[in-house]
Chain A
Amino acid sequence: MSDTFDAIADIIAETCNIDRDTITPESHSIDDLGIDSLDFLDVTFAIDKKFGIKMPVEAWMKEVNEGRASTEDYFIMANLAAKIDELRAAKA
């Protein structure tokens, strides 16, 4: 598991009061972990701050709403970690 996955799993566990052991790379942050929109805003803020990035959640949701992507592409934990790594690499 990547450092990024561990970092965001720690953030989600603390922010959303979820048992850290239940968060796996295969977990869907919305469907499996039950993170609602307000908690997700909190999580996004914490991730943005930790990595110095701006997660383009609006653009992601637009893609999902327009059928150009699925929620799994962005909200499965392993995929979310990969997207964050891309943003970090782009920033470096």
Chain B
Amino acid sequence: MRLEYFQLVDRIETMDPQAGTVVCRATVPTESTVFEGHFPGHPLMPGVLLLECMAQTGGHMILARNNYDKMAFLAQADRAKFRSFIVPGDVLEVHSKLTHEGSGYAVCEARILKDGKTVADAEIRYRVVPFPSPELREKMLEFVRSVGHTGIA
């Protein structure tokens, strides 16, 4: 994770866009200014960032499913649960599965595992729209290549 760049996913481990599944890996940094405030003397990964981590994971799969012609924007999170404290240095496995694909939107069930145990989960909805700018699309493609998805032109 590079919290200062809002990059909450380090690597795409496996992805099957047709099946609507993806697994990403994310390691919580050992140091970040985030932990100076959250919380002093008791550093914890903020729940909102874990939610973003789940959203980014599903987002990668939705982009691939749409051949990188459309961008997925977080629109709604339901039933978000943060079941355990996540601390600096934790290694997380993030799963997301497409549960519904509508016209201009998509819905995923996501969960984060640590040592095989679910530590967070949520239902996440996305608006799925054509990229609002070519620059954003290029940057996303560049980013996606950097996190390990090689199946793109």
Q: Is there contact, CB below 8 Å, between A45 and B75?
A: no
Question: How would you classify the secondary structure of chain A's contact residues: helix, strand, loop or mixed?
Answer: helix
Q: Which of B77-104 contact A (CB under 8 A)?
A: 100-104
Q: Is there contact, CB below 8 Å, between B127 and A44?
A: no
Interface size on B, residues (CB 8 A): 11
- Count of A-B contacts with CB under 8 A? 32
For the complex, give the distance between the alpha carbons of A44 and B127 in Å: 12
Q: Is there contact, CB below 8 Å, between B103 and A44?
A: yes
For the complex, give the distance between the alpha carbons of A48 and B102 in Å: 8
When C-beta atoms are compared, the residue in chain B nearest to A49 turns out to be B100
Q: Is there contact, CB below 8 Å, between A45 and B103?
A: no
Q: What residues on B are CB-neighbors of A38 within 8 Å?
A: 75-76
Interface string of B97-131 (1 = CB under 8 A from A): 00011111101000000000000000001010000
Q: Is there contact, CB below 8 Å, between B103 and A55?
A: yes
6 contacts between A and B (CB under 8 A): A38-B76, A44-B103, A44-B105, A54-B101, A54-B102, A55-B103
Q: List A residues at the B interface (Cβ < 8 Å).
A: 38, 41-42, 44-45, 48-49, 54-59
